[in-house]
Structure 1
Amino acid sequence: MNEIKHVAIYLRISREKQETEDTLQSHRERLTRLCNERNYNYTIFEEVISGHADMEDRVALTQMLDTLHLYDALVVVDVYRIARRLKIAAEVYEKIEKLNIPIITPDKQYNMSDIMVLKFQAILAEEEYKHIVKIMLAGKVDKTLRKENVNARPPFGYDAVKIDGKRTFVPNQYAETVKEIFNLALNGYGTKHIAEMVDKPAKSVHCICTNEGYTGTIIYKDLRVEDAFEPIISKDDFIKVQEGLKSRNTLEGGKRGRFRGKVLNILKDILYCDECGNKLFFQMSNRNTNHPSLMVRNCTCGKNKGIKADKIMNDFYSQIDYIELMLREEWQKVLNTPVIDTTEIFESQIQDLEKKKTKLTKRLSNAKEMRLDGEINRVEFEEIKNDIGVQLQDLDKSIAEISSRIDSLDKTKVSNEYQEKLELIGRINSLKSIPSKGTFPITTLPLIEDKEQANRLLRLLLDKVFLGWETDENGIEDFRLTVLPKKVFNI
């Protein structure tokens, strides 16, 4: 064996074991001290990754193996730090054997005669790890079913405490901030605007608004255990916030909308082309510089021409009045409908969602078989797997929401939902005022000074407003406005 002069130091810590940068620093100092004591020159390769990660994700390990022929030895804190997966460990040991270099740890030097023992130890280590993971997973599942919280850290607004030997979460002094965030979301404010109002990062506000844990629900793996600890937010309010966020952030084709810029008209980001479904935009017309007017721009599809915004607003206001009447009629109809009928509708919806889950699970199974048969590569399989995973999560969420509605279904909650919609219309109408005499141009349209607030309230009330054109039997062309209100979830 050649004299050892230049070595490769490989360092790895795992976030899964809650190891920190301090651990990495400690290992680094220990190995560099060893090299200095023995007069080794060294190059450090380090990474923070699970020992069971795929080789493609082990960047530092791959770089080290590609250049290992330049070194006289490999230095590690422990041989198990190289890899926990048998396949990867075997690849490293084969490289070591081929280059005929030792593995050095602070406690021992492994030469060629020790490599076979290391391979055997790697087999035992992988089996032991699988057994430990299985036991730990079963233990966490048992704790979750006992309504004991096994999640690492409590959400903002909670403290982790032990009560009667069980780890649970209790609201702390920041719970009021969480309530304020959800209240603002219920009133139609977006996460960015809420973040400015409560002085928190927008990303944090979004995480809070989408965390079902605030309803007192434990979510671990595929388990959902409700009423596990004291809620900060009711289940109904959480569902409404999710629906509101979805309507703000999702456009046709799954694209994200951008609610930015000055609100020139209360239908901003609500008005869409009836031909192609694209969003329509407003702009000021400069044709008459003395009295510029607000216009709906031509649609990019070319089938929806521009029109003065004032022309469509009278029709819009009359349709809002009709929606108010329609909601009152539906409310009365629901009050006269037996609860059992509504329950059957919900159960039918759950059955349809379960069928979709079955189809997606079958697709994933087929993709796994195709990967094993070599019909698709790893990247293609991961794309399919991730896509199906997102869809399954959405379906599980929808099933949980509908199930929650079934559990809490009563006439009072149904009435409250209709009452909230009617109160929204009242708040919108309260913002309207009659223009004073002598204003130019003369108009019968009511004025709304606070367009931003009206726009925010309309997003809570409406899904979309579609603008199209039609020709009557006399060949006269006129616009057509279709206003789609958000459905009350319980009908």
Structure 2
Amino acid sequence: MIIKTVAIYNRISRANNETDDVLLNHRTITTRLCESKEYKYKIYEEIESGGKFEERKVLLQLLKDIAQGLYDGIVVVELSRIARDNLYSQMIAKVLEENDVPIITPTKIYNLNDESDRFMFDVESMISSKELKAITRRMKNGKIEGAKRGEWIQGNPPIGYKRNDDKKLVIVESEAILVQQIFNYADSGYGIPSIVSKITGYKTANGKSFTTTAIYTILKNRTYTGVITYNAKDKKGNITDSIVTKNAHEAIITREQFSLVQQAVKGRMSGDLETRNRSRGMVLSTLKDLVYCRQCKSKMGFKKDSKQANAIYLKACKCGNRGVSESSLLVAFQKKFRFLERFYREEWQKALETTDTISKDSLVQQNEEMSKTLDKLNSKLKRIRSAYLEEVFTKEEYLSEKSNAESEIKKISDAKDELLQDIESLDKESISSQYESKIEKIRQINDIYNKEVSYKDMVEVNRLLKLMLDKVYYIRLTEKVTGISPSRKGLKVEQGDFIQILIASK
């Protein structure tokens, strides 16, 4: 066999924590080998961390070039660099065998058309495949243990942090200030598009401008509260283990503020980021985006009067609930709003009285029950696997049972995590802080309502109301019950034009 022109194939895996130095070493070894043999060579290199065969673009191009007869051989540091997966190894071997292209390593040349060499290739490929599974299992377990120790093992840290030598997150002050600013804007009631416009000029870690998606991701990231959350997944992306480690690193955002921001974001979104619950456009009323029909629960909007320049109206609902002038609506709303401060003070007192007794005990008990349920589900998952190995289940039955059990584990783990947050937030300082914030906002709103309201004031009141209120239910009636008739034979009903308001607070 005459070998003149070869392809060098070098590959490293980021998943195995291999660095560019490893790639350089491999390049040095393979090129030195070619020069010592006086081969002409072309280098093919890629950084690949497992993945699917079709994702290995450089290797696929190399195989195409081999099929076109461009090379007499392929040079690698060792067989495992071609592929560790046994199936992939056989697919590659088929192409090399059909084109009579040997594999050249520093210790041996494998002619795959020779029975002895092919046998050695198959044996070593099988060993590499088993080693890959062992390595993958060790790495997975290592990541889980690392997450439990509070280490960051999930790629690039979120903006505001960097990973130090012991794999823990440490704060980057300049970035942390921006993160705090973003949370403060959200906590103050600004919508995500408004936040994007306010931080124009700042760049993400990869040098791009912030988008609504990037801001939404930051606001939903619990890492900023000092928590590490790691979800271990199988090859199909199913979560097999969920690790939550609290106080893993210094927090940029307090848990109290994070909780308040989640309420604010939820108030502006219905479901995912794509489905907005707030409309854009000019603020025609302090109640913009808050009014809902009490009959059919549909959202109701405002419009300008085409004949009177300064007149604003609440539009009629599609179910027949009549609209009304915005001024009349505000009068009815403000009567109800006056009682909101008293309501919050009463709820504050109740919360303080039950914090260390009934409420917390109940949540702790729920957490214990969830832990027991998780233990049972994990035991069930082990039994399912054992049953499959003993051929009690078919593969389809096993995958179905496994998927159902893992789905339940994920659901309960998420609920347990939220419950633990609730337990931690049940302290008097946290409760007082939340209610004081709400009462302060009511004071600010009343101060504005007690003077002539400008457009800027209107926008500010609307922003503050959205932080406290979920919905304002409205209905317009032609009669209402005012008491019992003097003869006590029925209810006393008054005829007229009445507006009824019901405030649903957050």
Structure-1-length-normalised TM-score: 0.72
Q: Per-residue deviation at 1:461?
A: 0.4
SS of residue matched to 1:266 = coil
Assess, with a 3 A threshold, how the Cα gap between structure 1 residues 251 and 130 changes in structure 2: closer, same or farther: closer
Paired AA for residue 422 in structure 1: I
Asked if 1 retains the 8 angstrom alpha-carbon contact of 2:477 and 2:497, the reply is: yes
Give deviations 1:24-74, integer Å, cap 9, x for gaps. 999999999979x8678x9x99876432x2346556766877897544657
User: Which residue of structure 1 aligns with residue 459 of structure 2?
Assistant: 452
Please give the secondary structure, in 2, of the residue aligned with 1:326: helix
Which of 125, 128, 133 lines up with 2:136 in the alignment? 133
2:129 pairs with 1:119: no
- Quote the RMSD (CA, aligned, Å): 4.8
Query: Is 1:90 the equivalent of 2:90?
Result: yes
Superposed counterparts of 1:213-232, under 5 Å: 213-221=223-231, 222-232=242-252
Q: Say if 1:31 and 1:75, in contact at 8 Å, map to a contact too.
A: no
Give the equivalent residue in structure 2 for 1:170: 170
In the other structure, the counterpart of 2:52 is 54
Q: Hey, what's the Cα distance between the residues in 1 that align with 2:253 and 2:499?
A: 44
Task: Give distance in 2, aligned partners of 1:293 and 1:22.
Answer: 72
Larger radius of gyration: 2
Contact 1:470 1:477 in 2 (8 A): yes
Contact 1:179 1:233 in 2 (8 A): yes
Query: Quick one: distance in 2 between partners of 1:280 and 1:252?
Result: 22
What is the alpha-carbon distance in structure 2 between the residues aligned to residue 315 and residue 356 of structure 1? Answer: 49
Question: Contact between 2:355 and 2:426, CA under 8 Å: does it hold in 1?
Answer: no
SS class of match (2:178): helix
Alpha-carbon deviations, 1:431-487, whole Å to 9, x = none?
Answer: 22444xxxxxxxxxx66642222222112101122334556467867554332100x
* Residue type at the aligned position of 1:178: V
- The answer to whether the Cα contact below 8 Å between 2:267 and 2:277 also exists between their aligned partners in 1 is no
Task: Report % sequence identity.
Answer: 31
C-alpha contact (below 8 Å) 1:433/1:447 kept by paired residues: no
CA distance in 2, matches of 1:23, 1:304: 72
Deviation digits for residues 195-216 of structure 1 (CA, Å, limit 9, x no counterpart): 4334432455444333322222
Q: 2:303 aligns with which of 275, 283, 293?
A: 283
Q: 1:128 to 1:20 in 2, by over 3 A?
A: closer
Indicate the residue corresponding to 2:312 in structure 1.
294
CA contact (8 A) 1:10 1:75 kept: yes
Residue 346 of structure 2 aligns with an amino acid whose one-letter code is E
Whether 2:220 is the aligned partner of 1:210: answer yes
The CA distance in 2 between the partners of 1:466 and 1:355, in whole Å, is 42
Q: Would the aligned equivalents of 1:216 and 1:230 in 2 still touch at CA under 8 Å?
A: yes
Contact residue 217 and residue 228 of structure 1 kept, 8 A:
yes
Q: Is the 8 A contact 2:85 2:132 kept in 1?
A: no
CA distance in 2, matches of 1:475, 1:89: 86
1:169 to 1:305, Cα distance in 2 relative to 1, 3 A = same
C-alpha separation in 2, matches of 1:137 and 1:98: 37
SS class of match (2:250): coil
Q: What is the CA distance between 1:246 and its match in structure 2?
A: 2.5
The one-letter amino acid of 1:217's match is: V
Give the conservation status (yes or no) of the 8 Å contact 2:216–2:273: no
Match of 1:373 in 2: 396
Query: Relative to structure 1, is the Cα distance of residues 275 and 226 closer, same or farther in structure 2, using a 3 angstrom cutoff?
Result: same
Judged with a 3 Å threshold, the aligned counterparts in structure 2 of structure 1 residues 434 and 153 are, in CA distance, closer, same or farther, namely: closer
* Offset, 1:321: 1.6
Quote how far apart the aligned CAs of 1:190 are. Answer: 3.0
Tell me which amino acid in the other structure corresponds to 1:186.
D
> How many Å separate the matches in 1 of 2:353 and 2:294?
35
Query: Hey, what does 2:489 align to over in structure 1?
Result: none
Q: Which residue does 2:189 correspond to in 1?
A: 188
The verdict on how the C-alpha distance between 1:93 and 1:461 changes in structure 2, with shifts beyond 3 A counting, is: same
Q: Say if 2:506 is the partner of 1:482.
A: no
Say which SS state the counterpart of residue 173 (structure 2) adopts: coil
Q: Matched residue pairs, number? A: 457
What is the DSSP-based 3-state SS (H/G/I as helix, E as strand, rest coil) of the residue aligned with 1:450?
Answer: helix
Counting only pairs closer than 5 Å after superposition, residues 9-408 of structure 1 correspond to structure 2 as 14-17=13-16, 49-51=48-50, 53-55=51-53, 69-71=67-69, 75=74, 77=76, 79-98=79-98, 100-103=100-103, 110-112=110-112, 113=114, 114-150=117-153, 152-162=155-165, 166-174=166-174, 175-198=176-199, 199-200=201-202, 201-202=210-211, 203-221=213-231, 222-250=242-270, 255-257=275-277, 259-286=279-306, 288=307, 290-291=308-309, 293-299=311-317, 302-337=319-354, 339-347=356-364, 350=367, 372-373=395-396, 396-407=413-424
The farther-off stretch of 114-123 and 150-159 is 150-159
Unaligned 5+ segments in structure 1 are: 436-445, 487-491
Say which SS state the counterpart of residue 156 (structure 1) adopts.
coil
1:418 to 1:298, Cα distance in 2 relative to 1, 3 A: same
User: Cα distance 1:428–1:292, how it changes in 2: closer, same or farther (>3 A)?
Assistant: closer
Cα distance change, pair 257–46 in 1 and its aligned pair in 2 (3 A): farther
Kindly provide the amino acid, as one letter, of the partner of residue 215 in structure 1: T
Q: State whether structure 2 residue 444 is matched by structure 1 residue 427.
A: yes
Q: Describe the superposition over 1:212-258 as per-residue Cα deviations: whole angstroms up to 9, x where unpaired.
A: 22222333442222223332222222222223222222259993445
| Aligned residue type for 2:15 | E
Question: In the aligned structure 2, how far is the partner of 1:150 from the partner of 1:134?
Answer: 15
**Distance 1:122-1:411 versus aligned 2 partners, 3 A rule:** same
**Cα deviation, residue 21, structure 1:** 9.2
Q: Is the 8 A contact 2:76 2:82 kept in 1?
A: no
Instruction: Identify if the C-alpha distance between structure 1 residues 71 and 294 changes in structure 2 by more than 3 Å, giving closer, same or farther.
Output: farther
SS at match of 1:170: strand
8 Å CA contact 1:273, 1:467 repeated in 2: yes
Give runs of aligned pairs for residues 457-472 of structure 1, distance below 5 A.
457-468=464-475, 472=479
* AA aligned opposite 1:173: E
Helix, strand or coil: the match of 2:338? helix
Distance 1:355 1:138, change over 3 A: closer
Tell me the TM-score normalised to structure 2 length: 0.71
- Given residue 413 of structure 1, which amino acid in structure 2 is its aligned partner? S
| CA gap 1:80/1:423 in 2 versus in 1, 3 angstroms | same
Relative to structure 1, the CA distance from residue 127 to residue 425 in structure 2 (aligned partners, 3 Å threshold; closer, same or farther) is same
User: For 2:351 and 2:181, how far apart are their aligned partners in 1?
Assistant: 31
Question: Do the aligned partners of residues 233 and 320 (structure 1) sit closer, same or farther apart at CA in structure 2, a change above 3 Å counting?
Answer: same
The 2-side partners of 1:351 and 1:272 are apart by 39
How far does residue 263 in structure 1 lie from its aligned partner after superposition? 2.0
